Structure 1
Amino acid sequence: MIEGIDRRQGLLQALAGYYERMDDAEAPGWSREKFGWCVVIDKDGEPVRVQDMRDLGGKKPVVRQYQVPASFPRPGTTPRAFFLWDKTAFSLGVTKSGRHNALRQHEAFRSLNLERLAGTNDEGLMAFQHFLRRWTPDRFDIDPFVSEMLDANIMFRLEGDDRYLHERPAARRLVAPVSEADDRKTTLCLATGERGPAARLHPTIKGVEGAQTAGASLVSFNLDAFESYGKAQGDNAPTSETIAFRYGAALNRLLTRDGPNRVRRPIGDATLVFWADASNAKAAEAADSWFGEAVAVEDADEARKIGEDLAAVAKGRPLSALHPAIEPGTRFHVLGLSPNAARLSVRYWLSDDLDVFAKRLADHHADLRIEPQPWGKPPAVNYLLAQTTALQGKFDNIPPLLAGEVMRAILTGAPYPRSWLAAAVIRLRAGDDPGQGWHAAAIRAVLVRRQRLQGTESDIREKKETPMSLDRDHPNTGYQLGRLFAVYELAQRAALGRGVKATIRDKYFGAASATPASIFPLIIANGQNHLSKVRKEKPGWAYMIERELEEVMAHITPTMPFSLPRSLRLEDQGEFAIGYYHQRKARLGDGATEQPSFDDDSDEGNDRDE
């Protein structure tokens, strides 16, 4: 559901504009639908064979889209059929749930088509009338019909004719177009400012992940609670029938699965589509292709190229200088849609120059930088969110509202939501591995962007920005405590070996980052026992670890270990995670032959606990 008139105007106008640029746009009264089967009939209306229309080139058959007489919403219990095509429940009277459930639907299909086709002398349409009069659902049990057809869309064709029935000239003349040239009461269209009949029901939008397979409405008023000022249905958001048709056709085209204007995997629960306004199709395609790769890059070579582009954009170069096919000043639109029962929710709707979006994506990747980098290529947004906020790292477990807020922040350049910081910290406290670096990178991104956009000059002078790489002099107590925790974990590993089943990280990381005063005395006491063993067995390592401990403790005030903070605020818990990651990845010593680190696998370990 669209919030506010201004957002509705901009979105519907932009979609209607995209419709005008579609080379093969369906005309009013037509729509693109998915089909897998066609029933071929002879002149007497007898089915002679079934044509498999699916794409069989991949691992499994894929249905294809065809332009047919338009579909429409079918609310309520009274069956309403489509012209010359429909699901098997309507067109053949059979369905997976049982034939007795489809009798009313098939009768509605039969009645509508016989009525519309009355008086025609077209050979194909007359054959279809014979088919409708003779057909009984029991006929489906006989060849050439197959069970795979059940509940799929079915169209028809006359034997010996390459055209489908709805493509015959006589059939096209019977398709009722959307027309504003009638005597209905007109209203002022909110999208164009022109007068015309308002669309009573807005088009059905298909392809949004998680929405009803039959489609959902972007604009809908089907309950009294949604209506106001005595207006019913579409009169509450007066949009002309022409604009309603155009925006529906355009949005359904953009939402085509695996299409060039759609991010393949949803971001949270939002299906993201995008499109450019350009003077020609080639320029628009170049802009669309670049943005799609930048938001959800998967190929390693493309990721490298996108990384180079973003680095150049960060230095002030326009995309048109990097890719001549992209026009300077290209206007670009981004829309995120989420399912909401029989409706669609707009998670975000943004429109700006493509160079502006590119600069914001470059800022996003810059804010994510951390050393050492935990990924080999710039991470896609949904993968980043899965790694930092989702239970078991599953895409389905990404908090949907958070995903929308993060994506909006990326595309607008606004501060990341504080809830992203909270979610990452919660996942670390729940047992996610802080040594992987994903959470640290996300936490640092939230902190540095807020510090950059909301910080004061004194913050900058006092060097309070969260560091990208190990900074031994960073003044944040949480950061230094995270470093201290990592050094004591290293002492444990040096004493007990890499085979230790449960390190202090597994037992105490969450508590130590939240309530240091209650946990660190225990960690320090155990750490001294571990160091005592290391001094005996690996004195060189003991020397470097103790020197690192002294350096860290010198940066923690008040004096350790008796006056530690009782608790750390959320931002400082984030700093704790970053300090831990930086220290964990650092190698100690000053060029000595033997340097202890978490990545050193030279010792065998003995499966001992602490």
Structure 2
Amino acid sequence: MLLTRLVEHAPHLDLPPVYYRHRRVRWVLSLDAQGRVKSVDSAGHPTLGSLADGENRHGIDLATPYVYRSGAKPPPMLLVDTLQYVLAMPVNDSDKAEAEAIRRNDAYIALLEQWFEHAPDESTAAAVLAFFRRQDHLNVTIPEDAKPSDTLALRVEGQWAHEADSASSVWRTVVAQRKGSDTGQGVCLACGQEGALLDTIPEPVKAGAIPVPTGMGRDTVLVSVNKSAQGRGGRIQLADIPICDGCGSTATAVLNSLLATNEHRYRTSDSVTVWWLKRPTQVSLLRSLREARPEDIGALFAELDQPHTGLENTRTDPNAFYALTLSANQSRVVVRDWLDVPLTDALTHARTWFQDHQIQDVWQTEPQHVALWRMARCLGRWKDDDTGKGYAKDSEPKTAERTLLSMALHGEHYRPPVFLLQRLDQRIGADGHLDLPRMALLKLLLLRLNPQLRETVMPTLNDNDDHPAVLCGRLFATFEQIQYQALRDPATKKGPNTTVTDKYFTAAKARPLSVMEMVRDTANAHLKRLKRDSPGAWGGLSNRLDVLYTRLGGAPPATLNLEGRALFTLGYHQQRADDRAAAAKAKEAKAAKAAQDTPSAETE
């Protein structure tokens, strides 16, 4: 269960006290041991200290008492709260706003009284309460740039008041009373132990931790049933989801901690995925997927290839991998995906991911891996204009990166939606751009949508693949090479400004028979010129044409479906990459021979 796994991970994290959360604190009120303000203005009025500076315009980050609050009369938080609560600062000049500020301030002071009653020997509590009992807070000079929503903390003799042990103890009791269930005691669904049950989850997921389309995040609740239609038998809140006080607070605290750590989260445009291990190790699985750095991939493969005890491929695996994908719907958390598998399964899925998309690039001799985010980005619009080259920002489908991440985590049997291949095919046809990310994604989608292709589709050109669409793609690449060799400038080595690919590629992969026969007529004219100017190139290319046409049975198919168009594109790309690699190898061999034939200085 998700909540259980979160709670189990708590010992591996440095969490703040229960029902404390890191917040930005803008102002500080410094008191002495008698509860008198240490800083006053020229009129003798107490003044606030600012915690903002050049690097922290909104104050400093502190772990402070916090609980999700709502309703017409939201209750106060202990010690650290807004200026409305601490200094009775109204939001405007209306009588209603002033009355509400006084109400909140009274409730804030009543909570301080409760703290002092719980710990009468606590000197910090005595000092703070003395300050408010004298009503000195009503005489504090509030800076002009202060807002009622700014957060203020109290410090007594240089120590933060909310960090006192008695303060955290009282705050936990207060929150338990506020959020406690009407049913009282019961067996917790998460830990299986009997304890005080909650009515609602006290701590929310921090605003901004989960991406939202509008960019304006808000606090969200992990478990929320506040409408009778949402609950079983019309029951609301946690009536059918018994969660104890400890598990309710710890689960969200762990989740907030993971969401705040780059090492354990993967943010996309519409979701965020957090991951953790039952037994933490140095493997960073999501980072290897996100960035595809060779050293991370190597470490992942090395971890998987280590000698094992024989238990790793069973449910008794001593280590486990957990991944949780979340999005937000207003104030509720939406669980998009939950993965709980042995670590070896997760590593195997990652290795399969890298193997499935690995492909040779036209600029590299060895097959390459591609970062997951780049494959998602390549589903967008390619631009090449005065502003530069690249994929237009946010032009890819919003769900693309999340879907690809699910493919990587769930393994080869996770079937992706066909629309991804449709989108990729459409974008390649629309902007005529082929690069490493697009070809890696194309190969990946082909293998995941049709596993039978694993026997023939390889990272490099498979000369034994007789699929008609692949042979057509190789033919088209050969036509392009013939044109280039025949029309290139001998001095600059540049080919024609407009190639057969620029004109006919999109049409050829959809209707290869009619289009490629037309292109072949043009290629025959180029071959005559090539036979005259470069007999070696003519011999190799004309022979390849004959072989490919023979394997096609004499003519290309009339039309190709979506998979066929993708295979056509793959065959075209891999033929080009193979030609480039062969040319580079020949150039290296020629240079090596020239170096051997050149006499050294010592020989001379």
TM-score scaled to structure 2, two decimals? 0.76
Aligned AA for 1:162?
Answer: G
Q: How does 1:128-143 map to 2 (within 5 A)?
A: 128=132, 130-135=135-140, 139-141=142-144
Please give the secondary structure, in 1, of the residue aligned with 2:191. coil
Residues 84, 156 of structure 1: 8 Å contact kept: yes
Select 2:16's aligned residue among 16, 26, 50.
26
Structure 1 pair 114–94 and aligned structure 2 pair: CA distance change class (3 A): closer
Counterparts of 2:290 and 2:584 in 1: how far apart (Å)? Answer: 43
Counterparts of 1:549 and 1:585 in 2: how far apart (Å)? Answer: 17
Q: CA deviation at 1:49?
A: 4.6
- The residue aligned with 1:447 is 446
Select 1:338's aligned residue among 315, 327, 334.
327
Residues 491, 527 of structure 1: 8 Å contact kept: yes
- The residue aligned with 1:466 is 457
Residue 579 (structure 1) aligned with residue 571 (structure 2): yes
Residue 262 (structure 1) aligned with residue 268 (structure 2): no
Residues 18, 250 of structure 1: 8 Å contact kept: yes
Select 1:167's aligned residue among 127, 142, 163.
163
Counterparts of 2:582 and 2:323 in 1: how far apart (Å)? Answer: 51
Counterparts of 2:149 and 2:361 in 1: how far apart (Å)? Answer: 53
Residue 549 (structure 1) aligned with residue 548 (structure 2): no
Deviations 1:4-60 (A, max 9, x none): xxxxxx1011011122x15543343x221222433234544554452426794xxx7
Please give the secondary structure, in 2, of the residue aligned with 1:156. strand
Please give the secondary structure, in 1, of the residue aligned with 2:229. helix
- The residue aligned with 1:205 is 205
Deviations 1:490-533 (A, max 9, x none): 23333444364443333332232223234323433443444455
In terms of mean alpha carbon deviation, does 477-486 or 339-348 score higher? 339-348
Counterparts of 1:503 and 1:98 in 2: how far apart (Å)? Answer: 69
Counterparts of 1:50 and 1:190 in 2: how far apart (Å)? Answer: 46
Select 1:505's aligned residue among 474, 484, 501.
501
- The residue aligned with 1:431 is 431
Deviations 1:120-145 (A, max 9, x none): 57113332563543357xx331xxxx
Q: CA deviation at 1:437?
A: 2.7
Counterparts of 1:170 and 1:245 in 2: how far apart (Å)? Answer: 18
In terms of mean alpha carbon deviation, does 105-114 or 577-586 score higher? 105-114
Residues 483, 580 of structure 1: 8 Å contact kept: yes
Counterparts of 1:83 and 1:179 in 2: how far apart (Å)? Answer: 14
Deviations 1:79-120 (A, max 9, x none): 44433223456556779x977797576445413212223485
- The residue aligned with 1:604 is none
Counterparts of 1:549 and 1:448 in 2: how far apart (Å)? Answer: 28
Counterparts of 1:247 and 1:592 in 2: how far apart (Å)? Answer: 56
Counterparts of 1:131 and 1:362 in 2: how far apart (Å)? Answer: 65
Residues 320, 340 of structure 2: 8 Å contact kept: yes
Residue 348 (structure 1) aligned with residue 348 (structure 2): no
Counterparts of 2:407 and 2:562 in 1: how far apart (Å)? Answer: 20
- The residue aligned with 2:289 is 295
Q: CA deviation at 1:150?
A: 8.1
Structure 1 pair 502–233 and aligned structure 2 pair: CA distance change class (3 A): farther
Give the length in aligned residue pairs: 537
- The residue aligned with 1:156 is 154
Q: How does 1:153-302 map to 2 (within 5 A)?
A: 153-158=151-156, 161-168=157-164, 171-172=167-168, 174-177=170-173, 178-179=175-176, 184-186=182-184, 187-202=186-201, 203-206=203-206, 207-210=209-212, 213-258=217-262, 260-263=263-266, 266-267=267-268, 269-278=270-279, 284=280, 286-287=281-282, 289-297=283-291
Counterparts of 1:534 and 1:341 in 2: how far apart (Å)? Answer: 66
Aligned AA for 1:113?
Answer: Y
Residues 348, 404 of structure 1: 8 Å contact kept: no
Select 1:127's aligned residue among 131, 136, 150.
131
- The residue aligned with 2:294 is 304
Structure showing greater Rg: 2
- The residue aligned with 2:590 is none
Residues 358, 370 of structure 2: 8 Å contact kept: no
Tell me the percent identity: 20
Counterparts of 1:183 and 1:494 in 2: how far apart (Å)? Answer: 80
Structure 1 pair 526–109 and aligned structure 2 pair: CA distance change class (3 A): farther
Please give the secondary structure, in 2, of the residue aligned with 1:233. coil
Residues 209, 269 of structure 1: 8 Å contact kept: yes
Residues 381, 392 of structure 2: 8 Å contact kept: yes
Residues 83, 89 of structure 2: 8 Å contact kept: yes
Which ranges in structure 2 are unaligned for 5 or more consecutive residues? Answer: 38-44, 117-124, 311-315, 383-389, 489-493, 588-604
TM-score scaled to structure 1, two decimals? 0.76
- The residue aligned with 1:410 is 408
Which ranges in structure 1 are unaligned for 5 or more consecutive residues? Answer: 1-9, 279-283, 322-326, 596-610
- The residue aligned with 1:4 is none
Aligned AA for 2:218?
Answer: A
Please give the secondary structure, in 1, of the residue aligned with 2:378. helix
Aligned AA for 2:512?
Answer: P
Aligned AA for 2:322?
Answer: H
Aligned AA for 1:140?
Answer: P
Residues 38, 154 of structure 1: 8 Å contact kept: yes
Deviations 1:330-357 (A, max 9, x none): 2221111122222222222111222221
Aligned AA for 1:253?
Answer: S
Counterparts of 2:190 and 2:294 in 1: how far apart (Å)? Answer: 41
Residues 310, 359 of structure 1: 8 Å contact kept: no
- The residue aligned with 1:605 is none
Select 2:5's aligned residue among 5, 14, 22.
14
Residues 110, 132 of structure 1: 8 Å contact kept: no
Please give the secondary structure, in 2, of the residue aligned with 1:155. strand
Residues 23, 64 of structure 2: 8 Å contact kept: no
Structure 1 pair 468–495 and aligned structure 2 pair: CA distance change class (3 A): same
Deviations 1:561-595 (A, max 9, x none): xxx43321222212111111111123289989999
